[in-house]
């Protein structure tokens, strides 16, 4: 499959950040969002002693990554599940702690490109949006959530200013016929928005699709649970690297990393006790972004925000 050769976002920078942790003997990397396995392939190629634990809830992604990583048989443990199950995935692989954890968040290129998944607003497709095989679809949400719930997810997860107008249109539409396909939803959003909102550039349904996808897959809840588990899982010298593609995710990452890299003592204390020293140090100054050259080659890199931390001491 040609898509399996897609070059991952920020590949070289990601490997650079992981290198000190993965250069140790018997190092283990948890690729918490394995996808098509591009980052893991690079790591396995460059670090012959590293073992990868690859997690993905998408059975098709796991099948394709197994094909891609077949040359590294015996050095990869595959785990089908949601990435907040990091602790279970590590235990199933017979490990207790790991050298590094990598998150490449959001919807994968494969999921965007598959017409029957409904992630993309660019092509007609069933309104599914599930990253795995279980759970409520986007179509079911549109058919069953009341107006207040629809407004909540559109405002909270899509940061949509016109959530009320879109929710009204959804409720009116389903009185006659349910929304079943992505093109139907795009058309509804276009009709619901005021003319001024249509002139801001980009597809006007983008925020609605983002909100539905996050709700369907509980993406922010999963991330909030996964980050503490990842931070707890790495040894001293271990690293956690996260690539986020929208502001809601990046804010969660920023907050979680700030909590473990800042000193929690009263201001002006002359000496910080060892047990109050932060467990982690930041490896990035704020959030790093893709270069103009990479964005030109791969437009999906444009929104990426990369943050990374290293464990410098055990917990008190």
Q: Establish whether 58 is an annotated binding residue.
A: no
Annotated binding residue 111: yes
What is the spatial distance between Cα 210 and Cα 125, in angstroms, rounded to a whole number? 15
Q: Is 221 annotated as a binding residue?
A: no
Rounded CA-CA distance 173/175 in Å is 5
Q: Is 74 marked as a binding-site residue?
A: no
Q: Are 282 and 261 in contact (CB under 8 A)?
A: yes
d(CA 146, CA 236): 48
Whether residue 264 is annotated as binding a ligand: the answer is: no
51 is in an annotated binding site: no
- List, as residue ranges, the binding site: 37-39, 56, 83, 104, 111
Question: Which residues are annotated binding-site positions for S-adenosyl-L-methionine?
Answer: 37-39, 56, 83, 104, 111
């Amino acid at each position: 499959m040609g898509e399996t050769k897609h070059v991952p976002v920020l590949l070289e920078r990601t490997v650079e950040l992981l290198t000190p942790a993965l250069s140790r003997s018997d190092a283990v990397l948890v690729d918490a969002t394995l996808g098509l396995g591009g980052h893991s392939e690079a790591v396995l190629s460059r670090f012959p002693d590293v073992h990868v634990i690859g997690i993905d809830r998408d059975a098709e992604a796991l099948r394709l990554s197994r094909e891609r990583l077949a040359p590294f048989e015996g050095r990869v443990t595959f785990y089908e599940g949601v990435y907040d199950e990091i602790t279970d995935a590590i235990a199933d692989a017979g490990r207790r702690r790991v050298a590094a954890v990598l998150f490449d968040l959001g919807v994968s290129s494969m999921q965007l490109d598959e017409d029957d998944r409904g992630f993309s607003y660019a092509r007609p497709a069933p309104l599914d949006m599930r990253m795995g095989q279980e759970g409520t679809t986007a179509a079911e949400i549109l058919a069953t959530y009341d107006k207040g719930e629809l407004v909540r997810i559109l405002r909270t997860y899509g940061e949509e200013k016109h959530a009320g107008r879109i929710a009204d249109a959804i409720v009116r539409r389903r009185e006659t016929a349910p929304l079943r396909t992505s093109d139907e939803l795009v058309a509804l959003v276009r009709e619901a928005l005021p003319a001024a909102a249509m002139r801001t550039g980009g597809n006007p349904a983008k925020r609605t699709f983002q909100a539905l996808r996050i709700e369907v897959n509980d993406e922010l809840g999963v991330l909030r649970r996964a980050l503490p588990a990842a931070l707890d899982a790495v040894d001293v010298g271990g690293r956690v690297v996260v690539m986020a593609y929208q502001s809601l995710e990046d804010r969660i990452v920023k907050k979680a990393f700030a909590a473990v890299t800042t000193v929690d003592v009263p201001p002006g204390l002359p000496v910080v006790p060892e047990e109050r020293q932060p467990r982690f140090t930041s490896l990035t100054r704020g959030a790093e972004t893709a270069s103009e050259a990479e964005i030109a080659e791969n437009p999906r890199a444009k929104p990426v925000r990369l943050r990374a931390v290293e464990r410098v001491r055990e917990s008190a």
